[in-house]
Amino acid sequence: MDSEALRKFSALHPRPAGLTLHYGTAGFRSAAQQLDHVVFRMGLLAALRSKAVTATIGIMVTASHNPEDDNGVKLVDPLGEMLHPSWEEYATQLANAEEQELQKVITEICQKAAVNLHKDASVFIGRDTRPSSKKLSQSVIDGIQVLGGQYHDYGLVTTPQLHYMVCCQNTQGQYGKATLEGYYEKLSKAFMELIKQSHCSGELQRHLKIDCANGVGALKLSEMKPYFPQEVLIHIYNDGTKEKLNHLCGADFVKVHQKPPGGLDMKPNERCCSFDGDADRIVYYYQDTAGHFHLIDGDKIATLISIFLKELLAKVKQNFKMAVVQTAYANGNSTRYLQETLKVPVHCVKTGVKHLHHKAQEFDVGVYFEANGHGTVLFSKAAETKIRQLVKEEKDNEKREAAKMLENMIDLINQTVGDAVSDMLVIEAILALKGLSVQQWDALYTDLPNRLLKVQVADRRVIDTTDAERRALTPPGLQEKIDALVKKYKLSRAFVRPSGTEDVVRIYAEADTQENADALAHEVSLAVFHLAGGKGAPPQP
């Protein structure tokens, strides 16, 4: 390690005094002007991780659905998955080290993780469209180069595209070509093959309005447009030319506020969807003829995909194990529909993509979506191999056709991470193949009315949970109080969990009516305020 270079470059990316940041599920997120030292040091860490696993590592500069003045950085592991948890700790240590301690911390990481500094390092870099992203990705490059690493800067890409490139590179092209053209070609080919198998005489031209949150998704969708068949007409809104990133638009805004984004004029019964700022989440919605807004969130997306996959799996007659993975935020009626009507096993895990992804890997076909619209489908190696074999060798026409559809689904889905572009194409293909309108999809089940609230507390760590965050262990008396409140309302449930990023406690409640869901959420928020050290004035109804 070149101590002189490390000292010189570290001085160019000084750490602001007293600033402590933690690497969480979303990597580091903060106000952009506080991040220069962090991204430089994550360049160092990416080079170390690459040397440790002798593979290419990804590093993405984005703060997803946060306001435009924020930014963030996260690392991508060799198969396009999220950074290994043990390295999240190293990331936090490195980001918070005093300048004069930097070399010592790097040496400690090398010892703990058995990193050979003489090995080569290779890092792929991507960034979103925030004004601060270009400069920050330059700081990442400084970090990589200090440790003698090679890098490829993809510039502006969606987060899922970077995950995809990393996976392609490390599977020696088995997963696909590690270029944007490779990504567009693979997805559009699988999509067109699927649509070709559609025998229904539904609408020939499929119009879809897409709110791109004034983010990178707009640029990448425009690049991809020439690859789409003429039957698919996508109309891009909030493309970043006029307004600020994520301002009054995007998947997070639509999900939280339960209303359409600004900048998109909706006519009755038109199919619309929203991406988030870095295009790894998607939600659909429409307005009915009476002017009511209908949100189709991650739970309903998972349900549509599950119906389709279950039918195909039944036709190929293999003993594949399929399951849906949800978090406690999944609407109770979606869980009921999946388990009771579709007869698909459902598993609940802690909030956070890494928990869902990990659980989904236990099945031949694992569907996972968070209610916020982040999700994908994972196919086991064995299932994928068998499906591809059936396409080549199966004599029975119906079985072979079903296997062919499954093969195209495998190629269309970005299995590395939730991907708004890929998920959108999956949904559009299924709706076309099944001849479903957006209203028919929405009518599969009716969401239970629900309410999300948050309460500011002095220290979020006073709340500890169990049973996939559905029950509170501490503070004493809180869960008993919640249980008593839940008993007052029909079809109700409620849970509380500490935020992963700030000193707030998040509250979720659902019940038979919106009035009851709101009342239950408010009563639970008061219990949290009084028992868990609320700050400021008590919550108002």
Domain boundaries along the sequence of the chain:
3-156, 182-296, 298-418, 450-532
- State mean pLDDT over 453-473: 94
288 is in an annotated binding site: no
370 is in an annotated binding site: yes
271 is in an annotated binding site: no
Cα–Cα distance between 39 and 23 in angstroms, integer? 12
**Nearest in space to 275 (alpha carbons), one of 327, 319, 214:** 214
- State mean pLDDT over 262-269: 94
Q: Reply yes or no on whether the pLDDT at 241 is more than 90.
A: yes
238 is in an annotated binding site: no
505 in Cβ contact with 455 (< 8 Å): yes
pTM, two decimals, is 0.94
Quote the pLDDT of residue 322. Answer: 98
Quote the pLDDT of residue 229. Answer: 82
Average pLDDT along the chain: 95
Instruction: Point out the catalytic residue in the list 10, 30, 50, 64.
Output: 64
- State mean pLDDT over 59-69: 95
Query: Does 222 qualify as catalytic in the annotation?
Result: no
Q: How confident is the model at residue 499 (pLDDT cuts 50, 70, 90)?
A: confident
- State mean pLDDT over 173-188: 97
Quote the pLDDT of residue 110. Answer: 97
Cα–Cα distance between 49 and 57 in angstroms, integer? 7
Q: How confident is the model at residue 201 (pLDDT cuts 50, 70, 90)?
A: very low
Q: How confident is the model at residue 200 (pLDDT cuts 50, 70, 90)?
A: low
Alpha-carbon separation of residue 356 from 76, 81, 283, 325, 452 (angstroms): 17, 12, 18, 6, 21
- The answer to which of 65-69, 112-116, 204-208, 253-257 has the lowest mean pLDDT is 204-208
- State mean pLDDT over 59-73: 95
| Cis preceding linkage at 475, omega within 30 | yes
- The reply to whether domains 182-296 and 450-532 share a CATH topology is no
Length of the chain: 541
Cα–Cα distance between 312 and 76 in angstroms, integer? 32
CATH no., domain 450-532: 3.30.310.50
461 is in an annotated binding site: no
Q: Reply yes or no on whether the pLDDT at 161 is more than 60.
A: yes
CATH fold, domain 182-296, is Alpha-D-Glucose-1,6-Bisphosphate; Chain A, domain 3 (3.40.120)
Question: Bigger pLDDT: 2 or 39?
Answer: 39
- State mean pLDDT over 255-276: 94
Whether domain 3-156 has CATH 3.40.120.10: the reply is yes
Q: State percent of the chain over pLDDT 70.
A: 99
Quote the pLDDT of residue 127. Answer: 98
Cα–Cα distance between 190 and 192 in angstroms, integer? 6
64 is in an annotated binding site: yes
Alpha-carbon separation of residue 374 from 59, 279, 412 (angstroms): 19, 9, 16
Strand partners, 72: 29
81 is in an annotated binding site: no
Q: How confident is the model at residue 147 (pLDDT cuts 50, 70, 90)?
A: very high
Q: How confident is the model at residue 190 (pLDDT cuts 50, 70, 90)?
A: very high
Q: Which CATH number fits domain 298-418: 3.40.50, 3.40.120, 1.10.3470, 3.40.1350?
A: 3.40.120
Burial of 424 (0-12, 13-18, 19+ CB in 10 A): buried
**Residue written as token pair 């939280």:** 256
Q: Reply yes or no on whether the pLDDT at 485 is more than 60.
A: yes
435 is in an annotated binding site: no
